[in-house]
Structure 1
Amino acid sequence: MVLEHIQQRLKSEDRYDCPWSWDSLTPELTAAQSRALVAWVLDYNENFVVRSSHLIPQCWPIHRGLAREIAATYSHWMAVFHHPTATPSDATYFYDRVLPPFQDRISRWLGPHAEKCQAGTHDAGWDKDVAERVNRVHDSAGDTLRALDGGIAQSLATTRSAPAEGSDDTADDAAVGSSHGRLGSPDDP
């Protein structure tokens, strides 16, 4: 189902519901994408991890920036290895230019205690500082905590990609980065 959707999106001129963008998926596609990502992460960990810092831990869905990057990398992988027009050059490009930087960013997306997550002992307070900033930006701790505590599909499907229209939180967006739901660099402060 996800493969067919990605292939259809690659052929389409209207790219509103892009499979690598959680915000644009229907609930049905979000659930299918979630299952596909779990399988892809297992395969990735089995075949491409050569350093512990490259391991995607079980808690990856909680790290929403990482989950979004996994979705984008997975979609790229699907296009490279399953699209009818894919070439060996596409595969080489993926292994040379897409996969290594993705692997190098995994620990950054996991936060200051990445090694705990990668050892299977996720620190429940890993995002305390970030969560406090998100709460101030949203001006509602309840909404933010519900989004953080929800399942991967619900959390990722309801995250904003940009500040709400008429909102004046662009300065806080820059400070919060992807934790606010805006895809930013893992190096954003």
Structure 2
Amino acid sequence: MTGHRDDGGDNARPEIITGLAAELEELAHTVAQLKASSSPPKPSSGKPSAGSAPRPWCWPRMPHEEKADRLAELADWVRDVLFAWPDAQRAILSCWPRHWDVIEELSMLYCAWRTAYTWDGATSSDAAYYLDRVRPSTVERLQIRMRPCSQSHQPDGPPRDDADTVDRTLTELRLL
């Protein structure tokens, strides 16, 4: 053939082939070890395992008693953590427990906060993302959602406690 150079292509250097075969065998061994060391996925019982990331809540599928418990948990977090931010206090009016769209947004924000701050697998990047993106954009959306309920400006001040409104809503949920 024209242009064909006979460089021993059919007789490739044995040391190259041997080296590649050894690398391939080592990679296959590593893959086998990784497969053996990772536990196979277990069927989900619906509850997260201790090491898994926090899961969002699905309000429409929750029994009313669980909704009441989760709403109480969410209200504590809103009061103790989220209201440390003055913009959140201004944006989230005291009637928030009556608005399921707001509860849904706050639940997502709470889940993101738990992932960033309480999950064992969290990194500083999770906290940075929560602080830089998730919290500010959620508070902004909540301010828009709550605008129709707004009657007056909510000044900066000590964290607000909406316990009375939350308690009434919890009682109503438990009676359903």
Question: TM-score, normalised to structure 2's length?
Answer: 0.53
- After TM superposition, the structure 1 = structure 2 runs for residues 12-91 of structure 1, keeping only pairs within 5 Å, are 19-50=56-87, 53-54=90-91, 56-91=92-127
Hey, what's the Cα distance between the residues in 1 that align with 2:114 and 2:66?
15
Shift of 1:45: 4.8
Opposite residue 75 of structure 2, the aligned amino acid is V
Q: How many residues align?
A: 116
In 1, Cα distance between equivalents of 2:88 and 2:64: 35
| Aligned equivalent of 1:112 | 148
Q: CA 1:40 to 1:68, structure 2 compared with 1: closer, same or farther past 3 Å?
A: same
Distance 1:102 1:87, change over 3 A: same
Deviates more, 1:31-40 or 1:20-29: 20-29
1:142-157 equivalent positions in 2, closer than 5 A: 151=169
Aligned to 1:165: none
Structure 2: how far apart are the matches of 1:53 and 1:20?
25
Match of 1:8 among 49, 68, 77: 49
The 10-residue stretch of structure 1 (78-87 or 18-27) with the greater mean CA deviation from structure 2: 18-27
Provide closer, same or farther for how the CA distance between residues 100 and 86 of structure 1 changes in structure 2, counting only shifts above 3 A. Answer: same
Larger Rg: 2
State the distance in 1 between where 2:127 and 2:95 align. Answer: 28
- 1:30 is displaced (CA, Å) by 1.9
1:85 Cα offset (Å): 0.3
Change (3 A) 1:51 1:73: closer
Provide the alpha-carbon RMSD of the alignment. Answer: 3.4
Q: CA deviation at 1:52?
A: 6.0
CA displacement at 1:154 relative to structure 2: 6.5
Q: CA deviation at 1:151?
A: 3.1
CA distance 1:85–1:75, change in 2 (3 Å): same
Kindly provide the amino acid, as one letter, of the partner of residue 52 in structure 2: K
CA distance in 2, matches of 1:92, 1:154: 38
Q: Using a 3 Å threshold, how does the CA distance of structure 1 residues 8 and 30 change in structure 2: closer, same or farther?
A: farther
In structure 2, what residue type is equivalent to 1:73? Answer: L
Q: Secondary structure at the match of 2:94?
A: coil
TM-score w.r.t. length of structure 1? 0.50
1:59-80 alpha-carbon deviations (Å, 9 max, x no partner): 1011221111111111111121
**Correspondences of 1:171-186 after superposition (within 5 Å):** none
Query: Are the counterparts in 2 of residues 21 and 71 from structure 1 also a CA contact under 8 Å?
Result: no
Amino acid paired to 1:80? A
Q: Distance in 1 between matches of 2:134 and 2:71?
A: 21
